Structure 1
């Protein structure tokens, strides 16, 4: 199991809408994948199962989309991933040992947005 390395992707406008399914299709096309994921595809996610990295279902917490040909972190995607990490939609099934690292990864994007992740708010 593994948390992806922080990519420090550029941020989209905060009010940009988020459609994870549509973003995934664009990321797949941008990454040049059809049958199996690759490292470019991985960079759009916060977590993946390293034992199953050849399966698209191994990738979780998509936070990026392709905007004008560039992989870009989308604030509403980051917020959706953070909400799931905070228990929304039933949470996410990740190893307990990875949860703090996933939250740290997401918190770095919150810092770029001059905001705090939900788990750090009063």
Structure 2
């Protein structure tokens, strides 16, 4: 199990709509990952199951979309991923040792947005 390396992606505007399915399609195309995930594709996610890294379903907590030809972190996606970490939408089943690193990763994007993550409020 693996928490992705912090990419420090630029942010989109705060009120940009978030549609995870549509963003994932654009990320696949941008990354050239139509046949399977690759390192560029991985940049759009916070966590993936390294044992199944060649399967799209192994990638969880998407936070990025492709805007102007480049991946950018979408604040609403960051907020949605944080909410899932707090139990929204049924939560997420991650290895115990990955929970804190995922929260730290998300907290770095919250800092870029200028807010505190929900678990620090």
Please, what TM-score do these two structures have when normalized by structure 2? 0.99
State the alpha-carbon separation in 2 of the partners of residues 48 and 22 from structure 1.
19
2:92 corresponding residue in structure 1: 92
Unaligned residue ranges in structure 2 (runs of 5+):
none
Matched, 1:44 2:44: yes
Show structure 1 runs of 4+ deviating over 2 A. none
Q: CA offsets, 1:5-63, max 9 Å, x none?
A: 00000000001010000000000000001121000000100000001100000000000
Matched, 1:22 2:53: no
State the alpha-carbon separation in 1 of the partners of residues 72 and 97 from structure 2.
27
State the alpha-carbon separation in 1 of the partners of residues 78 and 11 from structure 2.
10
Please, what TM-score do these two structures have when normalized by structure 1? 0.98
Q: Secondary structure at the match of 1:82?
A: helix
After superposition, the CA RMSD in angstroms is 0.4
